Amino acid sequence: MIVTHAMRLFLGHQLGPFEFKKDIGYLPNYNVPNLGLYVHIPFCNDLCPFCPYYKIKLSPDYFKPYLKALIAEIALVAKKVVLPGKKRKATSLYFGGGSPALMIDELSTIRKIIDNYFIVEGNAGVELHPRDITIDTAMKLENAGFDMVSIGVQSFNGALLKNLGRDDLDFNSTFKHLNRGNFQAIDIDLIFGIPGQSENDLRTDFLKAVEAGATQISTYPFIDFSYADNRKKPQGRIAQKKLLSTLLKTADESGFVRTSVWTFGKKNAPKYSSITRDCFLGFGPSATSLGLDSFKANTFSVDAYIETANKHIVPTSLRMQFTTRTRKLYWLFWNCYKGYLSEKDYKELFSSELNKDFSFWLRLGKVAGLFNREEQGWALTELGSYKFHWVEQEYTHQYIDKTWKTAMDNPWPEKISLY
Ligand SMILES: C[S@@+](CC[C@H](N)C(=O)[O-])C[C@H]1O[C@@H](n2cnc3c(N)ncnc32)[C@H](O)[C@@H]1O
Ligand code: SF4
């Protein structure tokens, strides 16, 4: 709580809480240089007890109405953000969930609809549950134009998966199917701090991910969301610190470099990252969008989403209006997560100088050993990344947990105050 208070007050110059307010149909200002796209597929075969994301248990009855609503939302938004008769450039396209592969036969249709309005110049990625990966899925994904995949392995160790509340899986064929394809990036998600996980278990998981052909390994600290159903709780601070240093050592000996606070990548491999865009447009229930002036979230209910999109209303439920300063703070926060603050990107987005706007804090961060000054920006040091690892967890507990829980309890909350 102290961390988020301090960030809001001292860096954001904001006395009161950040507030989400109900604003059905709202769209931010997308007059921005770069725009990423995201599509949420909110269905899963089984609901993992640790998972905080908005999803419901698979019911094929939903596919048709969901597809129709998604197409309606994309068309409605495109009408506002794409010039008539033209296509707008997008820097990337990600499909997440939920488990997008459950709608594998619909993904190419959605992709085509997006291509009617946008030219996706960067990579196109999709999140996959390892159980859903078959040769057929891999081929269909490639044919639909996806060139990146992210697989939620969590752990290769059956006992640790069980501690997370997930069934053991046979991973033997999973990666063969993918390695046959032409994916430019294969991201493997691991969780660390799982109850019972030793440093050696984590090292083994990392090495297995390398062996499986990962070009990127995302390592998330196990977070116990207030509304999750975790029977066993994450390991404490001291254990996490040791596990983090195991990750750094194992990544280094495997030839992987840190590409953000929680990701490691092979040199020159494209990065898989759906959240670290400066501005993005999200489609589907619970999808968020970030514009120049505000942040918005769609309703966290498939039923409310379908009903609203069918009435030709953008299914936004919540809007957070930024001040100029808090928008810059938001940029600073996510770029710290990426590990690098680019002065050029900042200037392009805000027409203002990073070194002027945050002069005191950057110099203080340098003195404290959190940043190194580079030619065109500021890079987080290892100590900076370590500190940010805790700040990010605090932000998740204080802001994301509260927002998502409230939005899952009520499709149209009046207000959410974040302190
Ligand atoms: C949208 S989720 C899962 C995607 C896919 N459906 C799957 O199951 O593999 C994306 C990633 O978030 C991470 N994650 C989910 N819940 C988490 C938690 N409670 N703590 C830390 N990481 C978590 C997992 O690594 C997961 O793969
Ligand atoms: S971890 Fe993946 S499969 Fe499990 S509930 Fe979350 S989105 Fe669904």
pLDDT digits (tens, 9 = 90+) for 222-254: 999 999 999 999 999 999 999 999 999 999 999
Q: Is the pLDDT of residue 217 over 70?
A: yes
Instruction: Quickly list DSSP for 41-95.
Output: E-EESS--TT--S--EE--GGGHHHHHHHHHHHHHHHHHHHS-TT--EEESEEEE
Question: Six-digit token pair at 30?
Answer: 């997308």
Give the position, in ligand 1's atom list, of the atom nearest the Cα of 228: 19
Sorting pLDDT into bands at 50, 70 and 90, what band is 409?
A: very high
Q: How far apart are CA 380 and CA 384, in angstroms?
A: 5
High-pLDDT (> 90) share of the chain, %: 88
The preferred substitution site among 94, 167, 191 for testing ligand 1, maximizing ligand atoms within 8 Å of CB, is 191
**Residue of 129, 132, 189 to mutate, ligand 2, most atoms within 8 A of C-beta:** 129
Residue 170 predicted with pLDDT over 80? yes
Atom of ligand 2 at shortest range from CA of 97: 7
Closest CA to ligand 2's atom 4: 48
Angle in degrees, CA 402, 408, 414, rounded to 5: 75
Strand 316-321 versus strand 18-22 pairing type: antiparallel
Model pLDDT, residue 276:
66
pLDDT digits (tens, 9 = 90+) for 56-107: 999 889 999 999 999 999 999 999 999 999 999 999 999 999 999 999 999 9
- What pLDDT sits at residue 15? 78
Compute the distance between CA of residue 377 and CA of residue 243 in angstroms, rounded to an integer: 30
Delineate the domains of the chain, giving CATH numbers in brackets.
1-17+324-408 (1.10.10), 18-266 (3.20.20.70)
State how far Cα 140 lies from the chain centre. Answer: 24
Atom of ligand 1 nearest to the CA of 98: 6
Q: Pseudo-torsion of CA 389, 52, 228, 130, nearest 10°?
A: -100
pLDDT in tens, 361-405: 999 999 999 999 999 999 999 999 999 999 999 999 999 999 999
Average of per-residue pLDDT across 267-274: 86
- Segment 162-185 mean pLDDT: 88
Residue 1 pLDDT: 65
Q: Tell me the pLDDT of the chain averaged across its residues.
A: 94
What type of residue is 86? Answer: K
Q: Please report which ligand is nearest the Cα atom of 273.
A: 1
Residue with tokens 């619909």: 106
Query: What are the angstrom distances between the C-alpha of 15 and each of 107, 150, 229?
Result: 44, 39, 35
pLDDT over 70, % of the chain? 99
Contact 240, 193 (CB under 8 A): yes
Beta-ladder partners of 89: 119
H helix runs in 288-397, sequence order: 302-310, 324-338, 343-350, 354-357, 359-367, 382-395
Residue 107 φ then ψ, to 5°: -60, -35
Dihedral Cα 74, 75, 77, 83, nearest 10 deg: 130
pLDDT tens digit sequence for 289-304 = 999 999 999 999 999 9
Which tokens sit at 226? 């207030």
**328-334-339 Cα angle (round to 5):** 120
Q: CB–CB of 130/99 below 8 Å?
A: no
Average confidence (pLDDT) over 201-222: 97
